Amino acid sequence: MVPEVSHKKRIIMLIVDTLMDSSLQAALEHGKAPAFKFLIEKGHYFSNVISPFPTMSVNVDSTLLTGVNSDKHKIPGLVWYSQKEKRIINYGSHVRELFKLGLKQSMEDIFFNFNHEHLSKKQQTIHEFLKDKGIQTASINTLLYRGSNVTQIKVPFLLSLLTGINKELIAYSPDLFTYGAFRRLNPLKKNTYFWQRYGFNDQFTVNELRYLIDQNKLPPLTIAYFPNLDQSVHKNGRRDIKGIEQVDKELQKILNQYSSWDEALLKNIWVITGDNGQAWVGKKHKEALIDLRDLLKSYRIVKLRKGVTHQDQIVLCVNERMAFIYSLDGQRFQLNEIAGILKKDKRIDIIALKDKKIVTVTSGIHAGQLMFHPQGEYIDNYGQSWYLEGNEKILDISIDNKKIDYGDYPDALTRLYSSLFSHDGEYIVVSAKPGYEFIGEGSPKHVGGASHGGLHKEDSLVSMIIIGTDSAPKYLRIVDIKEWLLTLVQS
């Protein structure tokens, strides 16, 4: 039974991929973002909301919807190795890699397994939690959408033909659910062709959201995803104005659905947030790209097309400016050996591995090592306690009277620790300095533009605008947004 619609303010949350202060301010300075200007002036603007690590959309969305980090929700990143399945899982890094891994398997991972197999069933999404309370929610074009309603999604004919993926998939969704060309609410077919990424674009998202507004069908909570800005920043860099200008035009269409922009704010609480930032990448190809295959050529590395063989020693899973490096033998000395090789490269600022509950971090920049684990005498800005021993400069940590203050790596201890305990296996986590990104076999390259994935603040800090309430998350971290949204919806 559909819950009765009340006159209470609806909450509309817009996730704008790679919305960050540097490009937003550049667009505002040039008068190219009137909708953003209006929303910021009418609400509260935060420029330093911390994204989880690795700073990849699939990991970020999983944290946003579950309210926990990857050590609990179990989505490690865009590309990772499943010890259980003995294969590399890739949610869409680059078509070259997807082809080599097998298109059918890759499509199943992206469109089904991500939501229904890999995301931990022990963690409720915000959609599942509110459904249990009898409260409707909507998911508009988001990567992660898992809800409680049995739903059929239809794979476009050409995509099914080319990849071999089933034409129909049974999914679990929120009450109101749209997912590109696979499932839509608006009966008008717009922006869904294969050259328009089958509807996974800003224009489709806006059409669907405007339809809900027009039909007076907005539920208490709507979460909508805008993917386009990410690619524009990848190409044009951290102060990209063009991408912000295009997003702003789409925001104007949404606001124009009301009799006035002020009415749009009067009727709803609006939350506009980025998911990850992007760090700049240098223009010199050979210098900017850290080829892990070359650095680790003394080891037998898994080939994507062949899959894991008994001869292979290590697996490389590159997430742009971070990477997981796995030892297939699970040998600690081999990982220490690899860490030693990587430490010689000054483009790599973070090299981390775990031994039981202890994490050890080294660097291509700083000497020595830093060891840490939860529950110790040092307290950080988020009330988390830590044991620390070694060179704190590696993570740019300052300590005063047992209080931890973070510098270039926001909330570094929690974010790094959760990544190292996000899935089974023996592996190293590496992160690159701004100016550089990792490549493996078939990885995307962003020379002269920008990229993300890393632990650095350039990758990690995103913008958020809140209009219609004076409240905010307990801490300015994406991991704290779910709890705050629940209080807004249920208050």
For the chain, give the percent of residues with pLDDT over 90.
85
Per-residue pLDDT band for 7 (boundaries 50, 70, 90) equals low
| Confidence check: pLDDT of 193 > 80 | no
Judged by average pLDDT, the poorest of 14-28, 86-100, 314-328, 417-431 is 86-100
Residue 1 in this model has a pLDDT that exceeds 60 = no
Count H helices and E strands in the chain, helices first.
18, 24
Residue 326 pLDDT greater than 70, yes or no: yes
In this prediction, what percent of the chain has a pLDDT beyond 70? Answer: 96
State pLDDT tens for residues 41-52: 999 999 999 999
Round to whole Å and give the CA distance between 54 and 62: 12
pLDDT exceeds 70 at position 467: yes
Mean predicted confidence (pLDDT) in 13-23: 97
Please report where in the chains the tokens 């190292």 appear, as a residue: 420
Of the pLDDT bands very low, low, confident and very high (cuts 50, 70, 90), residue 102 is: confident
* pLDDT at 4 (0 to 100): 36
253-256 CB contacts, 8 Å cutoff, 24+ apart = 253/206, 253/210, 254/206, 254/209, 254/210, 254/213, 255/35, 255/38
Q: Which two tokens stand for residue 29?
A: 């300075």
One-letter amino acid at 282 equals G
Residues of the chain with CATH 3.40.720.10: 10-75+119-281+455-490
Q: Is 90 exceeded by the pLDDT of residue 2?
A: no
pLDDT tens digits, residue range 56-75?
A: 999 999 999 999 999 999 99
What integer is the mean pLDDT of 255-266?
96
Taking 90 as the threshold, does the pLDDT of residue 77 lie above it? Answer: yes
Residue 196 in this model has a pLDDT that exceeds 90: no
pLDDT at 280: 97
pLDDT of residue 6: 44
Specify whether the backbone of 67 is left (phi greater than 0), alpha (psi in -120 to 50) or beta.
Answer: left
pLDDT at 3 over 50: no
Cα 292 from Cα 342, distance rounded (Å): 9
Question: Kind of pairing, strands 385-390 and 370-379?
Answer: antiparallel
Q: Which pLDDT belongs to residue 329? A: 84
> Does the pLDDT of residue 198 top 70, yes or no?
no
pLDDT-derived band at 155 (thresholds 50, 70, 90) equals: confident
Looking at residues 167-173, what average pLDDT do you find? 91
CA distance 394 to 352: 11
Q: Are residues 322 and 54 in contact, defined by beta-carbon separation less than 8 angstroms?
A: yes
What's the half-sphere exposure (Cβ side, CA atoms, 13 Å) at 466? 14
Contact 414, 396 (CB under 8 A): no
pLDDT tens across 199-224, in order?
689 999 999 999 999 999 999 999 99
Question: In CATH, what class is 10-75+119-281+455-490?
Answer: alpha beta
Whole-number Cα distances in Å, 353 to 325, 363, 372, 390, 453: 10, 12, 11, 15, 17
Which range (151-155, 188-192, 433-437) has the least confidence? 188-192
**What's 411's DSSP letter?**
T
CA distances from 28 to 235, 314, 345 (A): 20, 47, 38
pLDDT averaged over every residue in the chain: 93
Q: Would the pLDDT of 462 be above 70?
A: yes
Q: Is the pLDDT of residue 195 over 80?
A: no
Helix (H, G, I), strand (E, B) or coil at 389: strand
- What one-character DSSP code corresponds to residue 368? S
Which residue's entry shows tokens 């080319």? 162
pLDDT single digits (tens) 389-432? 999 999 999 999 999 999 999 999 999 999 999 999 999 999 99
Confidence band for 111, pLDDT divided at 50, 70 and 90:
confident
Query: Using 50, 70 and 90 to split pLDDT, how confident is the model at 291?
Result: very high
The contacts of residue 267 (CB under 8 Å, 6+ apart) are 9, 10, 258
